[in-house]
Amino acid sequence: MLAHQHITPGLGSELASDIQLTSLSDGQISALQQLASERGIVVARDQVMSLQEQADFAHRLGEPLTRPTNPSEIPQELIRIMADENSKHAAGEGWHSDVSSESEPPGLSMLRMEVVPRAGGDTLFANMYAAYESLSPAMQAFVETLSAKHDPIGHYLYVSGAKKLEEVPSAIHPVVRIHPDTGRKALYVNVGFVSRIIGLNRRESHALLQLLYDHVAYSANIQCRVNWQPGTVVFWDNRCVQHFAAFDYFPEKRLGYRATIRGEKPISCAEI
Ligand code: SIN
């Protein structure tokens, strides 16, 4: 229903160049959501969209998380993602799934880029269906039984008006979750938010998490990367991909806005 090309055989699709997101019908929005759940990420180039139009579009995808502390010119549905000559770090510099510490963690995220460096500033994505499927059957069977604690870490300010980390709750989620739209199993632990595996001692938890993080980071065949241009919009489904924002462009500027859509309580393998 939406013309697209694959970025790699297993991960990511890029929409045809004549598609403008703001003109999509409700049926095409559903097709976009389905494509993201199957392919992990969907890239749309040359999009013409104001901040308010992006916020309005986010409501067509579901319930956007809001950031009450935004300055008045930025709608509460968006967070600004910016790094420049004053930045020591950039948001998302490490493999993660957005705000997985929420009890109903995000489904889709939608990042729209306005300013890009002359080179670099790509975002890397990893396919968490493939991460699960490429574990050995014995390891799959073990991790399917486990759950992990996700803590808000530094990202709490993005999604709340809280002043202190302690005000923002943690969540416990299955280590392998079932995607509600595809029925496929996806690995769901990430170095950005997970503090420990429930029921394992500290050393066991640390060793298993490190093994799973290395599996994601070193499995180049389950990854792709997206190069941004002004007007590029990328949707990623946090239920089945992780991402990593490369910060290789200092001291140049990169500026975009992200909408983050509430998902559902993750479904464990025991529930099917
Ligand atoms: C993020 O949402 O983690 C940032 C991604 C990026 O800037 O590419």
Residue of 101, 109, 115, 243 with the most ligand 1 atoms within 8 Å of its CB, for mutation? 243
Amino acid symbol at 67:
R
* Annotated catalytic residue within 4, 39, 67, 96: 96
Q: Are the C-beta atoms of 2 and 35 separated by less than 8 Å? A: yes
Is 150 annotated in the active site? no
Q: Could you tell me the residue ranges of all domains in the chain? A: 4-271
The whole-angstrom separation of Cα 215 and Cα 140 is 13
- Name the pTM for this structure: 0.95
Distance from Cα 162 to the centre of ligand 1, integer Å: 21
Q: Homologous superfamily of 4-271 in CATH? A: Clavaminate synthase-like (3.60.130.10)
pLDDT in tens, the chain (272 residues): 899 999 999 999 999 999 999 999 999 999 999 999 999 999 999 999 999 999 999 999 999 999 888 999 999 999 999 999 999 999 999 999 999 999 999 999 999 999 999 999 999 999 999 999 999 999 999 999 999 999 987 555 555 666 666 777 899 999 999 999 999 999 999 999 999 999 999 999 999 999 999 999 999 999 999 999 999 999 999 999 999 999 999 999 999 999 999 999 999 999 98
Choose one of 111, 158, 255 to mutate for the ligand 1 pocket test, by most ligand atoms within 8 angstroms of C-beta: 111
Tokens of 67: 């950031």
CA distance 67 to 157: 8
| Cis omega (within 30 of 0) for bond into 152 | no
